[in-house]
Amino acid sequence: MAEAKKIETDIAIIGSGGAGMAAGIEARDKGARAIAFEMAPEPGGTAIISGGGCMIVGSPLQKENGVEDTPDLAFDDWLKWGGSSVDEVWARYYIEHSLHDLYFWAEGLGVKWADVGMREGNSVMRWTRSERNGLGLMTHLIEAFRGRGGEIVANTKATRIKLEGDRVTGIEATNPETGERVEVTSRAVVVATGGFNSNLEMVLEARPDLRNSRIMEGSGPGSTGSGHKLVREAGGYLTHLDHIWFYVYATPDYRDPGQKRGLVFRHVPGYIWVNQQGRRFHNEALSGGNTASPALMAQEPRHAWAIADTAMMTEMEVADPYYREGSRIIREKVEELLANSPFIKKADSLAELAELIDVEAPTFEGTVERYNKAVECGLEEEPEFGKPLDSSKLFDTPPYYAIQIFPLARKNFGGIKTDIRCRVLDKHFEPIEGLFAAGEAAGMAGGHINGGAGLEGTMLGPSIFSGRVAGGWAASESGHGDGFTGKPNRG
C-alpha cells in the first residue's frame, strides 16, 4: 500500500459547510493554521444548497419592517415551540449573539441580507434570508476562509480521529475516488460533517418506529452521518438522535435509482391533501415540521396525496438543483417530473383520479366538493380544518393531479453533545481534549439546541454560529487567542 501523504496543521476541520467554514474563518482570525478536509469535490455542504435563512433577533431588517423583537421574546417562542428537550443555554447563547456574531459578522464578509419573513411558531418575523440563498451566503464564507489563507482539501474523507491517550492528535483521511491516504497531525480537530438525513439506515436506526413506513432521505448528499461514527469511535457522546425534523410536501425522486431521495415541492397554494381513505386531515396552509408532519405521521398508511388542478400547478417549484438554475425554475424539467414520476397521477375527472390513486371515489369526490363549496361561498376559511382560502380557487380545470407525499427527513435536531465551547463531551460529560464539534453534526449546536421543533432559520444560523465558537476555542487549544467571546446583542 502506498504511504499516506503527511500534513501538519494547528486545526483540522472535517467538512466545509456552514459550520466548517465559520470555524476556519474564526481560527484564521485568531492566527491559527486551519485546513478543511471535504469529502465532496466542491466545498459548501448542505449549507450551499439551503434556503439561506437564519433566525436573527433585533436586526436592521426587522426594524425596517416595523418589527419589535427582543432576545426574551425569541427565547420564549423557542421554548414554547421546541419543548422540554431544548438545550436552553445554547438557545440563549445563540439568540443573544445572533445580531452581532452572525448578522453583522456575515455582512462584514460580504454577505447581503435580502429580506425577513414569518415562519410558524414565531410571534414576529425573524427568518432572515441572504441574497441568492445558501449559495450567496456560502460563496462569501468560502472566499473569506480562503482569503485568510485557509485551505480546503477536497475529495478527502476523514476516516478516523487519531487519539494518543486521552488527547486527539489529528485525523486519517482517504480520497474516495483514488484511495490515496492522508495522515493529518493537528493540535485540534473540529467535526463539522453535517447531519445524517441522507442515510436512511441511520434515520431508521434513530426512529425504529418508522421502519414500516416509507421515509425519504432529504438532506444534502454529504449528510451521511460519517462524523457521528468517527466521534462515537473516539469516545464522544451522541444525544437526541431521534429528534429528526420531517417535512411532508415531498414526493420520491423517481430519477434516484434506489428511490430513497425525496423532492420537496412548493407553490401549489390551492392544493389539498387527502389520505388513503380519500379524506382531508389537516389545514394545508400549516405545512411545517411541527404541524403538518405529525398530522401526516398519524395517517394510516403514512402517506397522502396532494390534489391540484392544472391551473394550480403552473407555479409549482421543485427545490432540487436538477429543477432550477439559481432562483429560476426550469419549467420543462417540472413538466418532465409530472409526466414521468410513477408517484404522480393525472386524470381528466376526479372519479378517474380516485381510481388511479385507489381511494373510494364517492368519499374523495365529496371531499373536493365540500372544499369547492367553501371557495364558491367566498368563505375566508374552509370550515373543516380552518385553511385560509385567500390563495385558493375551485377545482375546475382538468386534468387533475395527485402527487403522492411521504415524510421526508430534512434536518437533525440531535447529534454530538458538546459544552458551550463546542468541546465534544464523553458519556461522563467530560471534554475530550482537542476535539470540537459544531453545526448539524452537533444537532446544529451543543447537541440539541432546537429541542423537538425548530422556529426555522434555527439550523443554518446556529450551525454557522457554533462553527465560529468551535473555531475560536480550537484556536485557543492550539495556542492562538483567548477563545470565542463575541459580542452579545445586549449592551
Ligand X SMILES: Cc1cc2nc3c(=O)[nH]c(=O)nc-3n(C[C@H](O)[C@H](O)[C@H](O)COP(=O)(O)OP(=O)(O)OC[C@H]3O[C@@H](n4cnc5c(N)ncnc54)[C@H](O)[C@@H]3O)c2cc1C
Residue with smaller CB distance to ligand X, 48 or 432: 48
CA-to-CA distance for 43 and 139, rounded, in angstroms?
9
271 in contact with ligand X (CB under 6 A): no
Number of residues assigned to the chain: 491
Given the C-alpha cell 418506529, which residue does it identify? Answer: 209
106 in contact with ligand X (CB under 6 A): no
Q: Provide, rounded to whole angstroms, the least separation between the CB of residue 474 and ligand X.
A: 15
Helix (H) or strand (E) holding 26: helix 18-29
Q: Where are the beta strands (DSSP E) in 365-458?
A: 400-405, 408-412, 415-416, 423-425, 431-437
Given the C-alpha cell 438557545, which residue does it identify? Answer: 91
Q: Judge contact between 215 and 204, C-beta under 8 A.
A: yes
Figure out which of the listed residues 7, 10, 13, 45 binds ligand X, where binding follows CB under 6 A. 45
451 in contact with ligand X (CB under 6 A): no
293 in contact with ligand X (CB under 6 A): no
Sequence-distant (≥ 6) Cβ neighbours of residue 98 within 8 angstroms: 54, 55, 56, 57, 58, 461, 465, 489
Figure out which of the listed residues 27, 32, 34, 49 binds ligand X, where binding follows CB under 6 A. 49
Q: Provide, rounded to whole angstroms, the least separation between the CB of residue 286 and ligand X.
A: 18
Residue with smaller CB distance to ligand X, 263 or 274: 263
Contacting ligand X within 220-249 (CB under 6 A): 220, 222-223, 226-227
Figure out which of the listed residues 253, 309, 440, 477 binds ligand X, where binding follows CB under 6 A. 440
Q: Are strands 423-425 and 324-325 parallel, antiparallel or unpaired?
A: unpaired
Contacting ligand X within 23-42 (CB under 6 A): 37-40
Give the CA dihedral 285, 289, 294, 299, nearest 10 degrees. 70
| Candidate segments 192-200, 248-256, 278-286, 417-425, binder of ligand X by CB under 6 A | 192-200
Figure out which of the listed residues 7, 15, 447, 448 binds ligand X, where binding follows CB under 6 A. 15
CA-to-CA distance for 159 and 407, rounded, in angstroms?
31
411 in contact with ligand X (CB under 6 A): yes
Q: Provide, rounded to whole angstroms, the least separation between the CB of residue 290 and ligand X.
A: 14
Q: Provide, rounded to whole angstroms, the least separation between the CB of residue 181 and ligand X.
A: 13
Q: Which grid cell is 25?
A: 474563518
Q: Provide, rounded to whole angstroms, the least separation between the CB of residue 386 and ligand X.
A: 27
Q: Are strands 34-37 and 151-153 parallel, antiparallel or unpaired?
A: parallel
How distant, in Å, are the alpha carbons of 256, 269, 422 from that of 468?
35, 38, 10
Phi, psi values for residue 440, rounded to 5°: -60, -25
Figure out which of the listed residues 24, 53, 407, 434 binds ligand X, where binding follows CB under 6 A. 53
| Candidate segments 147-155, 268-276, 378-386, 437-445, binder of ligand X by CB under 6 A | 437-445
313 in contact with ligand X (CB under 6 A): no
414 in contact with ligand X (CB under 6 A): no
Whether omega for the bond prior to residue 399 falls within 30 degrees of 0, making it cis, is: yes
Q: Provide, rounded to whole angstroms, the least separation between the CB of residue 42 and ligand X.
A: 8
Figure out which of the listed residues 18, 170, 434, 446 binds ligand X, where binding follows CB under 6 A. 18
Burial call 96-116: b when 16+ CB within 10 Å, e when fewer: bbbbebbbbbbeebebebeeb
Q: Going residue by residue from 158 to 177, which x/- string records binding to ligand X, judged by CB under 6 A?
A: x-------------------
Phi, psi values for residue 169, rounded to 5°: -125, 5
Figure out which of the listed residues 10, 20, 234, 313 binds ligand X, where binding follows CB under 6 A. 20
Figure out which of the listed residues 14, 248, 308, 402 binds ligand X, where binding follows CB under 6 A. 14
Helix (H) or strand (E) holding 160: strand 157-164
CA-to-CA distance for 95 and 467, rounded, in angstroms?
15
CA-to-CA distance for 137 and 145, rounded, in angstroms?
13
Residue with smaller CB distance to ligand X, 354 or 441: 441
50 in contact with ligand X (CB under 6 A): yes
Q: How many residues bind ligand X (CB under 6 A)?
A: 42
Q: Judge contact between 434 and 12, C-beta under 8 A.
A: no
194 in contact with ligand X (CB under 6 A): yes
Q: Going residue by residue from 315 to 354, which x/- string records binding to ligand X, judged by CB under 6 A?
A: ----x-----------------------------------
Helix (H) or strand (E) holding 351: helix 350-356
In the complex, the residues that contact ligand X under the rule CB under 6 A are 14-20, 37-40, 45-47, 49-53, 157-158, 192-194, 219-220, 222-223, 226-227, 319, 410-411, 439-441, 457-461, 463
